[in-house]
Structure 1
Amino acid sequence: MEAVARPGRLKVFLGAAPGVGKTYRMLDEGRRRADRGTDVVVAFVECHGRRLTEEKLAGLEIVPRAERTYRGSRFEEMDLHAVLERRPEVALVDELAHSVVPGGSPAKRWQEVEVLLAAGIDVVTAVNVQHLESLNDVVEKITKVSQHETVPDAVVRRADEIELVDLPPEALRRRLAHGNIYTPERVDAALSNYFRIGNLTALRELALLWVAGRVDEALQKYRADHGIGGVWETRERVVVAITGGPEGDTLIRRAARIAARSAGGDLLAVHIARSDGLAVGASASALVRQRALVESLGGSYHSLVGDDVPTALTEFAQTENATQLVLGTSRRGRVERFLTGRGTGETIVGLSEDIDVHTVTHERAGGGRLLPSRRRTLPTSRLIAGPVLGLVLPLALTFLLDQSRGSLNLTSEALLFLLAVVGVACVGGVVSALVASLTASLLLNYWFIPPVGEFTIAEPNNILALMVFAVVAGTVAAAVDRSMRLSRRAARATAEAETLSSLAGSIVRGDQAVPALLERTRETFGMDSVELADRPVEGDASVVQVPVGGDARLVLRGRPLPASDRRVLAAFAAHVNVAVERARLAEAAAEIEPVKAADRMRTALLAAVSHDLRTPLAAGWAAIESLRARDVEFSVEDRDELLATADESMARLNRLVENLLDMSRLQAGALKLDLRATHLLEVLPAALDGLPTDAPTVDAQNLEHVPSVLADPPLLERVVANLLSNAARHTPPGRHVLLTASAFDDRVEIRVVDRGPGIPEADRKNAFVPFQRLGDTDNTTGVGLGLALSRGLAEAMGGTLTAEDTPGGGLTMTLSLPAALPVPV
């Protein structure tokens, strides 16, 4: 095969539900491309008997399908090799989530599509939102229908184009009612089950949100590739800055209300390092509580590090394409603002550019910090203002004292200059104090120490006074600088302790999986990426590597890390090691759990079967002993009755032993299956034969119209027999047991309906637990294995067994099994 210059391009038509028109749109796309001269073939398309869809096939080249035989049945699949040999420019491939019948490679339709793409063939395909792996469990909760065929989200997200095929729920139900989706006999069941308005509305919203997320990813990638830093207001994104102070709850709720005003608005809470050492009211517990609040409101929490808080915050907001930024008000007074310059809020407003900044009032303002810098003891504004003040303040004091010359003596004047030097030292530290001390000494010498107007000193006492003045000024400045340095170190130590305490708490609670912990490490240290590698990374000096345990190590890419941050990073690595070990232990525990379950099974078996084994055994034995008695003459009727008793007892004992053996095989995973296409009518007669002669009548409806299921016939017979027996036992005299079936998508649902007392919703889970007899107080209703065994057998065949209320009273057991052939959708 010749070398491929580029991989093929993938276009996906995504639908919210069956019948919205994905296949029709896919074929229409193929026809338009063919009309433009593109070489297009139909690799695999299912029209499901829909006339308008079949008309779209006219004029398109169709690659013949490959026939495969599996468990005695014949199936048609896409002939992957034929398509590769044909090498079209574009291939139309339907049903991306389809599981390929064994006999060829690969096993999934989406894997076949990846082979075509790798060969340089463009692919146009279709898939429903319920088949996306990440939404599979959500869809099952909504529709109560389990989807066993799924596609990894990453496969669809990698598509070059994703087009949503949308249709309002009312329009889709009209299309269904007019017979444009299913055959007439299936319409009523579909409308009352899967195609309810609520189901379709929820599925439509899921599809819209998933596609919106995919579009947002593409937008972020485009902005990053083109170096676009400005805000594009495509959707509302509200970033709220929290510090761990008491005002955090107020800010979060306010930001959530702002985000809620726009449908689909995002809420992002961010906690960033402070470098000024102020952490009034901040605590790890408050941050944990506020994080929980953010997540409960549907937002996301981010923890970053940055010496310059305004810059770090605005850069984060711009990176996330935020449209609004929520801050708390500052409680600094005028004097503090004069000494420290502009505050965080004012600086952020200046840096925010297109981002709207909201300043929210609150009762208290807290300062947050996380790993403050240890390199500087003072902010830049004070480092600049200190020397300036050291020059200006002595000059201003000289001017004032010169205006009142004669009212103060030299000692008082020197003390005033000393006070000015101390004030400058408090503002700017040692350097500023030295500047002020030198300036004050020169001015004091020239203007106030005789001879005035000259830089000389006439008296020895004045020399001593000037020296004391210089020593006191320097000592005070050094003490202030040391105090600031220690305060900074204490602030950093406290921040490190709270960070590690929060991290350790999350590990202990088990709410941090390894990927989440790696992401938290990346955010905390402001790195571009963090990964867990099993070997050292060679040849990249910009990479930070920290051992985790064994050969594993954390690999961080991004900014250079100072030594102080590397020390904390080592603690993060230790926590990652704990998380990895926890995952390994959990895996080991999962392997042990089946053994424990088997032990519980054996214990329960011994406790439960003693009576149930003895009862039929004793009855049969008594009947046989009576027949063997030589001193009693039995009439023909009595003899037949005793034989019937013995036969019924042995049959009951045989069923019990078979159930126990099957349950044991299920628990041990040793049950052998022979799955093949099986129609319900094949197993129904034998299942009915197992019912007692006095059992209620079973009314079977609509069984001949449903397709065959993929099942093991003897096991399917056992499941149906158990369900019918259970329903017959609870059906009142004069009422029937209803057995009906319907098909949808790739599943067939078999329903057994009784009109008995039903099972309270709180007890339904226990109904499927082995050796549970709901409502039985005298051990007359059996060992309690029927429903448990039926569910186990159903799941072994790839199906499900669920219980729900029967409208008007009673219980409905629904057995869902995969169809042997695809059911038209």
Structure 2
Amino acid sequence: MPRGRLRIYLGAAPGVGKTYTMLGEAHRRAQRGTDVVVALVETHDRTHTTAMIDGLEVLAPTPRGELDLDAVLARKPELAVVDELAHTNGPGSRHAQRWEDVDELLDAGIDVLSTVNVQHLESLNDVVAQITGVAQRETVPDAVVRAAEQVELVDMTPEALRRRVAHGNVYGPDEIDAALGNYFRAGNLTALRELALLWLADTVEDQLGRYRAEQDISATWETRERVVVALTGGPEGDTLVRRAARIANRTRGADLQAVHVMRNDGLTGADPAVLARQRVLVENLGGSYHQVAGPDIARALLDFARAVNATQIVLGASSRGRFAQLLTAGVGVTTTALAGAIDVHLVPHERAGKGTRAQRMPAALSRGRRLAGLALTLAGLPALTGLLLTLAPSLTTDILLFLMVVVAVALIGGLWPALLAAVAGSLLLNWFFTPPYGRFLIAEGDNLLALVIFVVVAVAVSWVVDQAARKTRLAAEAGADAQTLATVAGSVLRGTRPLPALLERLRETFQLTSVTLLERGEVVANVGDSACTDVAGADGAVQVDDELVMLLCGRSPAASDRRIVEAFAAQAAVALRQERLAAEAATARPLAETDRMRTALLAAVSHDLRTPLASAKAAVASLRSTEVHFDEDDRSELLETADESLERLDRLVTNLLDMSRLQAGALGVTIIGVGAEEVVPRVLDDLGPDGRAVITRIPDDLPALLTDPGLLERVLVNLVGNALRYSPADRPPVITASALGDRIELRVIDHGPGIPPDRHDDVFLPFQRLGDRDNHSGVGLGLALSRGLAEAMGGTVTPEETPGGGLTMVVTLPAG
């Protein structure tokens, strides 16, 4: 069975018309003969959206208002309309989130139309929260939305959307002012719109990349500027990166990508410390860093550029001499010749190309082995000469035996002893075994050719063996360096403070007494003994950048260890930067939280405080009016309305003040012993007629509670009030009490829709409203205040699932 196709309507904010547009597409499909059903649509009581459902088959939701997945699968339409892809399902649902329900429908071969707002995309959730001050708890993975066959942006200018809100087409009349003054500010909507457009552009770019790969298209399509800068690990890299960044910045939305091409053997002269610094520079300029390998640097560079659909390449102009240019064209010339439609910028630099020159190759073999090879030459060749003079074989046999000795010398002593053996062997063959004997002359041309071949083969074999030995040694050193860096990375990642861990690992690896990192002469980090503060007094110094220098004390690192030490230094600079960013983030987090709470408080003041004020004012204004005569019943009803509104206003202000005192640690608490049977009846009285339906089960022998009776009463009023709000009419809340050791548990049990376990803690966040369907409908302080008051009395408030469905709030307090 083929998998169904998913089409998603993406919006920048609530109210742009996602659901309306989706239903319009459903009507068009139905008119074309497609079997369409509306599996679930959230109209939010919007008149125009509700009208769009007329004429479509609608499936009933579950009793809890969720998508009836089994009913849709049993009906098996060609197309199902499922609104709000990011919605979190209630308890008892098959899946935790609605996008998982949609995935099952797609697996069953059913096409789906759905909607999602940009604030629910996982990758943008925190960004939207920072912009709007409203944290959305319902998210959908980006991969789910990107996997859709079509993603259509339902766009609207901020001005048009604000007019729509002002006309009452999005929220009710009592919510319009709060919406326009908070979430729907013009700046917020502009930022959200830009996020949606950029995210969709990236999605389209992914689709284009898949199409190019499927059609095997390698030619560059200039749909978006992408600048690739080639880095060699040389000093010219900083200049190239900055030049490439300036080119990219000339076009809005352009990408900057840096790439370093390694040879396949992995043995390169690039300085890892320089590459690490250049990588940081690229990332600071908004680019990304990549590393690829290939036998041909120019072709590997072009393969990478074409793979990312690059439009421009920036690389350094070669500074090689004329003779070298005659031998090979060079990377720059070759890249330009093969680039095709890609623009190539060759940037001159006085030190360009110097970073790619291989470092001086170390000796392949130890001094002892070279001496052994020399000894074999000096002893073996005369011994072989004497043996051959005794046996008198043919010249061909003589040459092969001498060649065997040369190969043996190359294997033992390397290149130079083998070359000495080859020259000495050719002279011995000429003097003793080639006519005329006893003279350095060769009478026959065949003998001359044989000797020449002997020398050439001996030299070639010696060079190959020596090169293999050198590369083996370099590979071993590279492996050791890689192992060291891997160990460093592991220790840094496992630690909470990466910079000290990195410096300590450097100190241990090279047996140093101390390692100090200086910034403009000031010590920013140190491990080991007392910090070094003077470059002249240190055993080694590594200049990380213009401001940072690392000082090593205890021993001077060997020349062969210099590169690995520089890599440590470069990573130390990165770790220092990360620590400072983390510190800045930690400093900014409370400020952001304060700003978020301030935004939410303004929303509360503008709506939840304004509503009772408006009701009270309207009642008093009516009573004072001389134009209308009210009888006693009307006057009594208006006075009751004013009294209820002012009482509600008093509760809201009290909650706000208490939350402020809790956060400031200034709330007064008086702990005394009191029985639960005394507090609970007062709580039910405070709740009025609704409280009479609550069932209480308090044992007669329950110990007294050590608590503040007034604060406990407020905690229970909030909890029981919530339970009443969400409980079915035929199953009222239950309050139970029990002793557990030196603690007493009061349980407020309801059988309502409940809350998913992974979101239990969310309900205790101040000003928290779950979901995005109503961002302006309450202060959201009740549960947050209840937990704060309980903790101030030495207790806790924790949520649990009610068996059979619902939520149980457990208040735990000390027993008297």
TM-score by length of structure 1 reads 0.52
Tell me whether 1:510 sits opposite 2:493 in the alignment. Answer: yes
Pick aligned residue for 1:62 from 58, 65, 71: 58
Q: Check whether the contact 1:77–1:100 (CA below 8 A) recurs between aligned residues.
A: yes
Q: Check whether the contact 1:272–1:370 (CA below 8 A) recurs between aligned residues.
A: no
Tell me whether 1:177 sits opposite 2:166 in the alignment. Answer: yes
What's the offset of the Cα at 1:654?
1.8
Tell me whether 1:654 sits opposite 2:683 in the alignment. Answer: no
Q: Check whether the contact 1:370–1:496 (CA below 8 A) recurs between aligned residues.
A: no
Tell me whether 1:27 sits opposite 2:15 in the alignment. Answer: no
Tell me whether 1:209 sits opposite 2:195 in the alignment. Answer: no
Instruction: Give the 3 Å change call, closer, same or farther, for CA 364–350 of structure 1 in structure 2.
Output: same
Pick aligned residue for 1:224 from 213, 216, 236: 213
1:382 paired residue number: none
1:112 paired residue number: 101
2:300 paired residue number: 312
Instruction: Give the 3 Å change call, closer, same or farther, for CA 787–356 of structure 1 in structure 2.
Output: farther
Q: Tell me how far apart the structure 1 counterparts of residues 319 and 473 of structure 2 sit (CA, whole Å).
A: 23
Instruction: Give the 3 Å change call, closer, same or farther, for CA 14–42 of structure 1 in structure 2.
Output: same
Q: Check whether the contact 1:13–1:26 (CA below 8 A) recurs between aligned residues.
A: yes
Pick aligned residue for 1:53 from 46, 49, 53: 49
Kindly provide the amino acid, as one letter, of the partner of residue 203 in structure 2: R
Q: Check whether the contact 1:678–1:710 (CA below 8 A) recurs between aligned residues.
A: no
Alignment of 1:452-491 (within 5 A): 460=439, 462-463=441-442
Alignment of 1:240-319 (within 5 A): 240-274=229-263, 282-319=270-307
Pick aligned residue for 2:316 from 328, 335, 341: 328
Tell me whether 1:235 sits opposite 2:219 in the alignment. Answer: no
What's the offset of the Cα at 1:462?
4.9
Q: Tell me how far apart the structure 2 counterparts of residues 673 and 232 of structure 1 sit (CA, whole Å).
A: 64
Pick aligned residue for 1:144 from 133, 142, 150: 133
Q: Tell me how far apart the structure 1 counterparts of residues 241 and 709 of structure 2 sit (CA, whole Å).
A: 61
Secondary structure in 2 matching 1:147: coil
Instruction: Give the 3 Å change call, closer, same or farther, for CA 18–785 of structure 1 in structure 2.
Output: closer
What's the offset of the Cα at 1:172?
1.4
1:7 paired residue number: 3
Instruction: Give the 3 Å change call, closer, same or farther, for CA 238–676 of structure 1 in structure 2.
Output: farther
Q: Check whether the contact 1:90–1:122 (CA below 8 A) recurs between aligned residues.
A: yes
Q: Check whether the contact 2:178–2:776 (CA below 8 A) recurs between aligned residues.
A: no
Q: Check whether the contact 1:272–1:309 (CA below 8 A) recurs between aligned residues.
A: yes
What's the offset of the Cα at 1:338?
2.3
2:409 paired residue number: none
Kindly provide the amino acid, as one letter, of the partner of residue 197 in structure 1: A
What's the offset of the Cα at 1:332?
0.6
Kindly provide the amino acid, as one letter, of the partner of residue 44 in structure 2: H
Q: Check whether the contact 2:670–2:708 (CA below 8 A) recurs between aligned residues.
A: no
* Consecutive unaligned residues in structure 1, runs of 5 or more: 69-75, 378-429, 442-455, 514-611, 621-650, 663-671, 680-707, 724-738, 754-767, 770-783, 799-816, 818-825
Tell me whether 1:40 sits opposite 2:36 in the alignment. Answer: yes
What's the offset of the Cα at 1:25?
0.7
What's the offset of the Cα at 1:118?
1.6
Kindly provide the amino acid, as one letter, of the partner of residue 348 in structure 2: T
* Consecutive unaligned residues in structure 2, runs of 5 or more: 365-414, 427-434, 497-665, 675-703, 727-751, 802-806, 808-816
Instruction: Give the 3 Å change call, closer, same or farther, for CA 468–709 of structure 1 in structure 2.
Output: closer
Instruction: Give the 3 Å change call, closer, same or farther, for CA 617–302 of structure 1 in structure 2.
Output: closer
What's the offset of the Cα at 1:742?
13
1:167 paired residue number: 156
Map Cα deviations across residues 295-352 of structure 1 (whole Å, 9 max, x no partner): 222222112222221121111111111111111121111012224x111111222222
Q: Tell me how far apart the structure 2 counterparts of residues 228 and 790 of structure 1 sit (CA, whole Å).
A: 69
What's the offset of the Cα at 1:367?
5.7
Q: Tell me how far apart the structure 2 counterparts of residues 343 and 309 of structure 1 sit (CA, whole Å).
A: 10
1:155 paired residue number: 144
Map Cα deviations across residues 99-118 of structure 1 (whole Å, 9 max, x no partner): 22323323322122122212
Q: Check whether the contact 1:272–1:368 (CA below 8 A) recurs between aligned residues.
A: no
What's the offset of the Cα at 1:710?
7.6
What's the offset of the Cα at 1:79?
2.4
Aligned length in residues: 503
Kindly provide the amino acid, as one letter, of the partner of residue 192 in structure 2: L
Q: Tell me how far apart the structure 2 counterparts of residues 53 and 129 of structure 1 sit (CA, whole Å).
A: 20
Pick aligned residue for 1:342 from 317, 324, 329: 329
Q: Tell me how far apart the structure 1 counterparts of residues 67 and 153 of structure 2 sit (CA, whole Å).
A: 25
Instruction: Give the 3 Å change call, closer, same or farther, for CA 78–653 of structure 1 in structure 2.
Output: closer
Instruction: Give the 3 Å change call, closer, same or farther, for CA 363–43 of structure 1 in structure 2.
Output: same
Secondary structure in 1 matching 2:234: coil
Alignment of 1:623-638 (within 5 A): none
Instruction: Give the 3 Å change call, closer, same or farther, for CA 20–474 of structure 1 in structure 2.
Output: same
Secondary structure in 2 matching 1:13: strand
Secondary structure in 1 matching 2:293: coil
Map Cα deviations across residues 412-435 of structure 1 (whole Å, 9 max, x no partner): xxxxxxxxxxxxxxxxxx9xxx9x
Structure number with the bigger relative contact order (C-alpha 8 A, sep ≥ 6) is: 2
1:593 paired residue number: none
Secondary structure in 2 matching 1:365: coil
Instruction: Give the 3 Å change call, closer, same or farther, for CA 338–111 of structure 1 in structure 2.
Output: same
Alignment of 1:548-567 (within 5 A): none
Q: Tell me how far apart the structure 1 counterparts of residues 324 and 35 of structure 2 sit (CA, whole Å).
A: 74
Instruction: Give the 3 Å change call, closer, same or farther, for CA 129–370 of structure 1 in structure 2.
Output: farther
Pick aligned residue for 2:347 from 343, 360, 378: 360
Secondary structure in 2 matching 1:67: coil
Pick aligned residue for 1:189 from 170, 178, 188: 178
What's the offset of the Cα at 1:747?
4.9
Secondary structure in 1 matching 2:206: helix
What's the offset of the Cα at 1:678?
3.5
Secondary structure in 2 matching 1:239: strand
Q: Check whether the contact 2:669–2:793 (CA below 8 A) recurs between aligned residues.
A: no
Alignment of 1:356-755 (within 5 A): 356-366=343-353, 460=439, 462-463=441-442, 496=479, 499-510=482-493, 654-655=707-708, 676=723, 678=725, 745-747=773-775, 750-751=778-779
Instruction: Give the 3 Å change call, closer, same or farther, for CA 122–298 of structure 1 in structure 2.
Output: same
Q: Percent identity?
A: 48
Instruction: Give the 3 Å change call, closer, same or farther, for CA 476–79 of structure 1 in structure 2.
Output: closer
Q: Tell me how far apart the structure 2 counterparts of residues 316 and 788 of structure 1 sit (CA, whole Å).
A: 59
What's the offset of the Cα at 1:362?
2.0
Kindly provide the amino acid, as one letter, of the partner of residue 133 in structure 1: E
Q: Tell me how far apart the structure 2 counterparts of residues 214 and 790 of structure 1 sit (CA, whole Å).
A: 52
Map Cα deviations across residues 787-811 of structure 1 (whole Å, 9 max, x no partner): 976999899699xxxxxxxxxxxxx
Map Cα deviations across residues 504-524 of structure 1 (whole Å, 9 max, x no partner): 4433321999xxxxxxxxxxx
What's the offset of the Cα at 1:167?
1.4
Q: Tell me how far apart the structure 1 counterparts of residues 436 and 116 of structure 2 sit (CA, whole Å).
A: 96
Q: Tell me how far apart the structure 2 counterparts of residues 15 and 615 of structure 1 sit (CA, whole Å).
A: 48
Q: Check whether the contact 1:7–1:120 (CA below 8 A) recurs between aligned residues.
A: yes
Instruction: Give the 3 Å change call, closer, same or farther, for CA 616–236 of structure 1 in structure 2.
Output: closer
Map Cα deviations across residues 171-224 of structure 1 (whole Å, 9 max, x no partner): 211221222211121111111111122222222222122212221221111111
Kindly provide the amino acid, as one letter, of the partner of residue 78 in structure 1: L
Q: Tell me how far apart the structure 2 counterparts of residues 9 and 653 of structure 1 sit (CA, whole Å).
A: 61
Q: Tell me how far apart the structure 1 counterparts of residues 705 and 63 of structure 2 sit (CA, whole Å).
A: 46
Q: Tell me how far apart the structure 1 counterparts of residues 768 and 235 of structure 2 sit (CA, whole Å).
A: 61
The RMSD of aligned alpha carbons is 5.4
Q: Tell me how far apart the structure 1 counterparts of residues 770 and 89 of structure 2 sit (CA, whole Å).
A: 24
